[in-house]
Amino acid sequence: MKDGTAGYEKDLERLVQRLEAMPFEALHREVLPLFPPPPALILDVGSGSGRDAAAFAALGYDVIAVEPATALRERAYQLHPSPRILWIDDDLPDLLSLYETFDVVMLTAVWMHLTLEERPRGMQRIASLLKPGGLACFTLRNGPVPERRRMFAVSAADTIGLAEAAGLTPIVHLENQVAVTGNPGVTWTRLAFRK
């Protein structure tokens, strides 16, 4: 997915400001009630500015924040220093540096960066990183691709099919969620799965 971060390090501060301005609770209100109580271990794949990792840490969770864009990861670490967050340079579909299993795996605005060919391997890897009973949460981006970004169309039906093939059971499926940022023509699909 390294290619999926193309364009993210250009105009870094504007991107970070936009990500940090998005309200954590509003973004994740449909899935937060499904989380185990802290302390639990959360994997935040494609952690961006660290907004979600920091919010989880503040709630008492331990977080491994994976971000392949070096400048973005370093900025996130500066913004959100916390002993509860471990920042890692890794990427889907393989996440080779991870050996533990997690109570929750978050993929917020990440899946559209993987090609169709990468997604089955990525889903199998996500499932392998979940503890029994663990929760995987996806937000799928629908809409025009921003200039200088590498993204691909995503389908809720295809994602659910891959998840089920990997042993994950769908428990949340919400379509046409309006973007908190108000990007014209962009909607989101919220999916959650239980192992």
Q: What is the pLDDT of residue 144?
A: 67
- pLDDT level of residue 8 (50, 70, 90 thresholds): low
Tens digit of each residue's pLDDT (9 = 90 or more) over 132-190? 999 999 999 886 666 666 788 899 999 999 999 999 999 999 987 666 555 667 788 99
Return the half-sphere exposure (C-beta side, CA atoms, 13 A cut-off) of residue 40.
Answer: 19
| pTM for the structure as a whole | 0.89
* CATH, domain 2-194, list 3.40.640.10, 3.60.70.12, 3.40.50.150, 2.30.110.10: 3.40.50.150
Distance CA 81, CA 84 (A): 9
Q: What is the pLDDT of residue 2?
A: 47
Tens digit of each residue's pLDDT (9 = 90 or more) over 33-58? 999 999 999 999 999 889 999 999 99
- Rounded (10°) CA dihedral 175, 111, 120, 102: -100
